[in-house]
Structure 1
Amino acid sequence: MLRRLERQFEAASARYAEDNGIERDTDWFILKMQEEIGELTQAWNKRTGRGRRHGKSEDDLQADMADEAADLLGHVLLFAHHHDLDLVAAIKRKWKFEIEL
Structure 2
Amino acid sequence: MLATLMAQFEAASARYVEANGLTRDPDWYLLKLHEEVGELTQAFNRKTGRGRPKGRSPEDLSRDLADETADVLGHILLFAHAHGLDLEAAIERKWWFRPE
TM-score (norm 1): 0.95
Partner of 1:36: 36
Partner of 1:59: 59
TM-fit CA distance, 1:81: 0.4
C-alpha RMSD of matched pairs (Å): 0.8
Partner of 1:8: 8
Partner of 1:95: 95
Distance in 1 between the 2:99 and 2:29 partners?
25
Find the residue that maps to 1:15 and give its secondary structure: helix
Aligned residues: 100
Structure 1: stretches of 5+ with no match in the other structure: none
Partner of 1:47: 47
Deviations along 1:42-89, one digit per CA (max 9) or x if unpaired, are: 001101111111221111101100000000000000000000100000
TM-fit CA distance, 1:99: 2.1
Find the residue that maps to 1:59 and give its secondary structure: helix
Distance in 1 between the 2:20 and 2:7 partners?
20
Structure 2: stretches of 5+ with no match in the other structure: none
Structure 1 runs (4+) deviating above 2 angstroms are none
Distance in 2 between the 1:98 and 1:26 partners?
29
User: Percent same amino acid among aligned pairs?
Assistant: 65
